[in-house]
Structure 1
């Protein structure tokens, strides 16, 4: 092994190909993929997550094959989606039956011990009730009055996507972005994770907004209130039936009693997940197409590549937190490390060389990397975007607009940076 101009030079132990690598990153061979994903064997997933990932990959590959053969993606309600609605309604009906049974037992047993099972059923029904998402109480939440330029940009992207804008923008410290409806009136909320937003170019940010807002026009069954509420209820049921750790003799009996209902709930959860997964995969591909339509194919592809380096972003932010911890009490370290945090993160990710980005792409394909277990693998989404002629951008942000948006986000940037330095980075 030798070092030339800051690069590590060695022969691949598998095929003998000369490897020239930056010492900051994993040494691997582009000729035979030796050591392309050293972390793969350490990744630990639950049984449900492994099943979800395998199913997501199969559905993703099938949909991509259909597109490659000249097929089209359209939002539609197929038999699986209708069956998922039926199962979701059954879950909600069970919750309603528990509540109704509890009310009846309380009335019938008023003043006596008969009220006890009634109160228990009412408490159970209440804990399993469909919950409407709300705005977070502890994070920066922007309204149109707080960030008129940012909301104007979102409205412009939404217009191209064929939908309306959002009612609130939540800013947090995750390397992600999302949309959801909240409240009784079904208002719309966009969540922007600053570790992702601050490391994107202006055009990539447009593609990100196009992807997220595209979810409102593509008929994603899984994110509808009925199915999403049923999934949350089933997850709560599963939590109730988890075995007691380090059980006493009586608790061993309780654990045995829990086995059958736990597996019934898990089976129903997996069935509902399976019924909605194909529609969810289609919705993600459609959202990616919208990202390309709004921000350009190039920007959408670059956004996919940026998602692959989320681990690098986590390393940088953990390093920032550890450096701050070595510099003294919290109050002092907040002031010294929050200033310039986002600029340092963006510069670090921008310095990632192409050979490391290529390793991330290949590792992602081998591992089936995805944003979560319900998304198509990132490499398949990347390939889907490259089908057909490149799309030019429909929305182009100017420098003046970018500057005004940065000013509107300045306070949120400082708050989120302080929170990361104080509490650590968790995603």
Structure 2
């Protein structure tokens, strides 16, 4: 489905160059209506539980009332929260980085972010914390192998998501997914059932099938809008950092597996041969070795990765269009100059702000001997 939508949108957006807007679609409105209905069930459970609790105060009806209230509480919409182990950079910790983000956001017609988190993934993302706070997550393995302008393009892409939205990860629809997942867990069949449990499984079969059908329907309704958002975010990346930088970013995304493989290899080598896997010297040069490897990749290898990506339909995940189509759409559109320039002096200041988290993350990677792939 992701491959098909990606190809359809590529043709549509390529034909409509210059007028690419991400307006609300009928599918988006239907998804919102379904999500509101899901939350309506939660509200109804809470109301019924409260009524039973009050009307049956002191009697048996308090028991089902309390049960419904607990059930409704577990199904409630939950805003995103920061993971407890997140490596957070606040505005006071990295004023130059935040100023760069704010400048890029202004070119997107939006505001910057409230929190920046650095992790060990070769990717980046944005999300909403609570009801208003914005979170940007930057994977240091990807950040380190990008040129300064490619970093601007990366930030432009992520901030571009805020200008046209993503229904699937919005508060209303996103929390509906959580509620449906919780329902599905509650209605899961009992393994190796006895006769009574077998009958319970049979009773669960219909509502569990209904929940699964609603999830699939939401996926169908939101998938195309999500992929359109990625194409439009790529256009935002080109406006921020230039078309050339955005295309270079795509090449790095195609090489994401190589980035993580190299990082694991370098970390394991230092772990085995360093003076101590928990010491700072053992982790020295980890990021420089990763960058040197990526810079040593010849242009012919990047072209091979593009061809392989086109043949295999490479994409970051199912919510992203095929990477080779994203690259083609960038290159076939009118070239965009950079609206934000990250010169050497400013780049060095940003690097200085990242130095502590950079060293700490390198030590953790060497100590653990692997990173997620």
Shift of 1:334: 4.5
Decide which of 196, 200, 206 is 1:260's aligned counterpart: 206
Q: What's the RMSD between the two structures over aligned residues?
A: 2.2
Is residue 2:370 matched to residue 1:370? Answer: no
**Is the CA contact (8 Å cut-off) linking 1:324 and 1:334 kept in structure 2?**
no
Shift of 1:341: 1.6
**Is the CA contact (8 Å cut-off) linking 1:64 and 1:384 kept in structure 2?**
yes
Shift of 1:347: 1.6
Residue 303 of structure 2 is matched in structure 1 by: 358
Decide which of 44, 50, 55 is 1:103's aligned counterpart: 50
Residue 141 of structure 1 is matched in structure 2 by: 88
Secondary structure at 2:138's aligned position in 1? strand
What's the TM-score, normalizing by structure 1? 0.81
Shift of 1:269: 0.8
**Is the CA contact (8 Å cut-off) linking 2:242 and 2:335 kept in structure 1?**
yes
**Is the CA contact (8 Å cut-off) linking 2:274 and 2:282 kept in structure 1?**
no
Shift of 1:103: 1.9
Residue 268 of structure 2 is matched in structure 1 by: 322
Decide which of 149, 154, 160 is 2:101's aligned counterpart: 154
What's the TM-score, normalizing by structure 2? 0.92
**Taking structure 1 as reference, are residues 93 and 334 closer, same or farther at Cα in structure 2, changes over 3 Å only?**
farther
Which residues of structure 2 form unaligned runs of 5+? none
Residue 348 of structure 1 is matched in structure 2 by: 293
Residue 380 of structure 1 is matched in structure 2 by: 325
Which residues of structure 1 form unaligned runs of 5+? 1-54
Shift of 1:418: 2.6
Task: Give per-residue Cα distances to partners, 1:207-230, cap 9 Å, x unaligned.
Answer: 000001111111332232111211
Mapped to 2, the partners of 1:287 and 1:301 lie a distance apart of: 13
Greater helix fraction, Structure 1 or Structure 2 = 2
Residue 222 of structure 1 is matched in structure 2 by: 168
Residue 7 of structure 2 is matched in structure 1 by: 61
Deviates more, 1:170-179 or 1:256-265: 256-265
Shift of 1:199: 1.2
Shift of 1:65: 1.0
Q: Which of structures 1 and 2 has the larger relative contact order (alpha carbons within 8 angstroms, sep 6+)?
A: 2
Residue 198 of structure 1 is matched in structure 2 by: 144
**Taking structure 1 as reference, are residues 208 and 248 closer, same or farther at Cα in structure 2, changes over 3 Å only?**
farther
Mapped to 1, the partners of 2:59 and 2:367 lie a distance apart of: 52
Residue 116 of structure 2 is matched in structure 1 by: 169
Secondary structure at 2:332's aligned position in 1? coil
Residue 38 of structure 2 is matched in structure 1 by: 91
Is residue 2:39 matched to residue 1:129? Answer: no
Shift of 1:275: 0.9
Shift of 1:414: 1.9
Mapped to 1, the partners of 2:348 and 2:191 lie a distance apart of: 54
Mapped to 2, the partners of 1:304 and 1:269 lie a distance apart of: 31
Mapped to 2, the partners of 1:346 and 1:161 lie a distance apart of: 29
Mapped to 1, the partners of 2:79 and 2:181 lie a distance apart of: 15
**Is the CA contact (8 Å cut-off) linking 1:60 and 1:380 kept in structure 2?**
yes
